[in-house]
Amino acid sequence: MDQVLTIKKNAEAGIIDFLKFLLQKDEIGGVFTLRNISKQGKYDYGLITDPELLKDAIPLHPLMPVNGGKMLSNFSVVDEKIAAVIKPCELRSFIELVKRSQGKLENFLLISYTCGGCFGFKHSVDNNIDEMLPDYWKVVAKGTDYKDIRETCKACEYFIPINADITVSVAGEKDLNSISRLYLHSEQAKRMAEGFEGDISDEEFDRSQYEHIINKRKEFKVKLFDQIKIKDTGLDGMIDVFGKCIGCHACSRVCPICYCILCDFESSTYDYDSDMMQTELSRKGGVRLPPDTVLYQLGRLSHMSFSCIGCGQCTEVCPADIPVSVIFRKIGEKVAEIFDYVPGRNVEEEVPVTIFKEEEFTSLGED
């Protein structure tokens, strides 16, 4: 049975109080959260250890400068717990990373929230988020989508945290700016909350109340997926979409699933020598340089698509404005379906490529 901890403050202030309490009580060694930094209207992820500095924390801020889940994998072993406030998709990324031994769950008290979606980089660059915030929160409280949030967010049906120790009720929470509702799922969360003034009562977190949001998001997702017309034209479609790729591989560097220190497709194995280039040249009459633009995308898809949690960072960073995220998510879902795998659903669920069943795809290869 979950417990709900209600604090009579706005959602954000409530969490900060709670975090402060945990820090002072030495339940945790630090807090990983979004925070304000020196310059006005600038934010980043920070690990805060001094309770006083929590004043800068903005845990619910609708922005994802980097995928927090990816950042959490920086902590291999720590002797003190760290409370991390991250978005549901970041949490799912982290679960996927844990499966690949790129992070340790036991290091953290994982706090997440029903997410109303976040803004793209464009807005943080234009520095106009603050003025949009009031409206944003109104809309989120209503449980609808704010017009300027990322498309990937509008298409995200996983905005309810999975595997969190604590879920903060945000999207669809009408008393957003008067009440802060923290659902304590795990034992460690309940234990840590002991002694915190604020009323705690037993109440199961009710996912069903979000059905309508989920359905809306799904509808939008389908629309978004349909925009990607690659399938109809195959190779040419790929070239149409990825033709402008400049091969900077930023998508893989910000991707929370791409954990490799050096991408295989950047390794010397894939370098061309002039002999190979000559073969290509004489066959085509002309070759694009650097080569293997589309090959890289295919390769990355084959490595991680089934684990894509659709955080949208790849689209955000793409200098050529390629809708990478939509494509990867669309294909990822198709692949994951085969193994009825949902990335970030359950840490026990093994990555499809690491296991097999003897009695599967038995007709394959026998014809």
Partner 1 sequence: MKKPQNKGVKISLKKGLKESILKTIKDMLHNECFDAVLMPMQVPAKDSYAWVLIKDKKILEEANPIAPVMPVQGAKALSSFSRKGETSLNIAALMKPCEIRAAIELSKLNQINLRNITLISYDCPGALPLSDYTDNPDNSEKKFKTIIDKLNFHDDSVKPVCQMCDEFSLIPDCDLHFGFSHNQENFMLLIPQSKRGEQIIKTMDMKASQDVSEWNKFIQEKRKKRQNKRNERFKKLKNMVEGFDTLMDTFSDCIGCHNCRSACPVCYCRQCYFDSETVIPDSDVLLLKAKKRGGISFPLDRIMFHVGRMSHMSLSCVSCGLCSDACPVSIPVAEIFSYVADNTQKDFEYKSGENKEESVPLMTFRLEEVKGIKKLVENAEG
Partner 2 sequence: MSMKIGVYICECGPNIAENIDIDRVIDDISNSEQYKERELIIKRYKLLCSNEGKEYLEQEIKENELTHLVVAACSPRDHDTTFINICKKTKLNPYLYKMVNIREQCAWIIPDKKKATDKAIKYIKSAINRVLHQSVLIEKQIDSNPNVLVVGGGITGLETALSLASEQRKVYLIEREAQLGGKTAHFKKLLSRQGDKSSIIEEKIAGVEENKNIEIFTESKLENAVGFLGNFEITIRNINNNQSVQERTVGAIIVATGYTLMSAKKLKQYAYSEKDNVFTALEIEDMLKKDGKILLRSGNEPKSVGLIHCVGREERGYCSRICCSYLLKIINYLREQSDKISIKDFYKDLCLPHKHDQEFFEQIKEQNVDFIRYDDIAIKRNHISYTEVGGSKKESDVDMVILAPAMIPAKGTEELSELLNIQLHETKFFQEAHQQLNPVATSIEGIYIAGGCHGPKGITESLFQAKAVSGKIETQLIPGEKIIPEVKVSEIIEDFCMGCQTCMDVCCYGAITYDPERAVCSVNEAICRGCGNCAGSCPSGAIRAKHFTADQLYEEVNEAIR
Partner 3 sequence: MDTNFTPKIVSFLCKWCTYSGADLAGTSRMKYPSTILPIRVMCSSRVNPAFLIKSFFNGADGVFIGGCHPGDCHYQSGNYHTRRRFIILTKIFETLGLESERLKLAWISAAEGARFVKVVTEFSEKIKKMGENSAKKKIFI
Query: In the complex, which residues of this chain contact partner 3 (CB under 8 A)?
Result: 230-239, 243, 264-265, 270, 280, 283-288, 291-295, 298-299, 301-302, 305-306, 330-331, 334-335, 338, 352-353, 356-358, 360-362, 364-367
Residue closer to partner 3 (CB basis): 91 or 224: 224
103 binds, among partner 1, partner 3, partner 2, none (CB under 5 to 8 A by kind): none
- In the complex, the smallest distance separating the C-beta of residue 282 from partner 2, rounded to whole angstroms, is 10
* CB contact at 8 A, 105 and 98: yes
Q: Which DSSP string corresponds to 14-75? A: HHHHHHHHHHHTTS-SEEEEEEE-SSTT-EEEEEE-SGGGGGGB-TT-SB-SS-HHHHHTT-
Q: Is 1 in the site for partner 2 (CB under 8 A)?
A: no
Q: Which is nearer to partner 3, 191 or 334 (CB)?
A: 334
Q: In angstroms, rounded to a whole number, what is the distance separating the alpha carbons of residues 222 and 227?
A: 9
**In the complex, minimum distance from the CB of residue 153 to partner 3, in angstroms, rounded to a whole number:** 23
- Residue 7 token pair: 């604090």
Interface characters, 318-347, with partner 2 (x: CB under 8 A): ------------------------------
DSSP code for 3: E
Task: Give the one entry of partner 1, partner 3, partner 2, none that residue 52 binds, where binding means its C-beta sits below a cut-off of 5 to 8 angstroms depending on kind.
Answer: partner 1
364 lies in the site for partner 2, by CB under 8 A: no
Cβ contact 145:138 at 8 Å: no
DSSP SS3 for 275: helix
Cβ at position 220, least distance to partner 3 in Å: 20
Whether residue 167 contacts residue 206, with contact meaning beta carbons closer than 8 Å, is answered with no
Q: 101 or 127, CB closer to partner 2?
A: 101
Cα dihedral 139/145/150/153 (nearest 10): 120
- Report the interface residues with partner 2, using CB under 8 A: 76, 100-102, 259-264, 267-269, 275-276, 279, 303-304, 350-351, 353-355
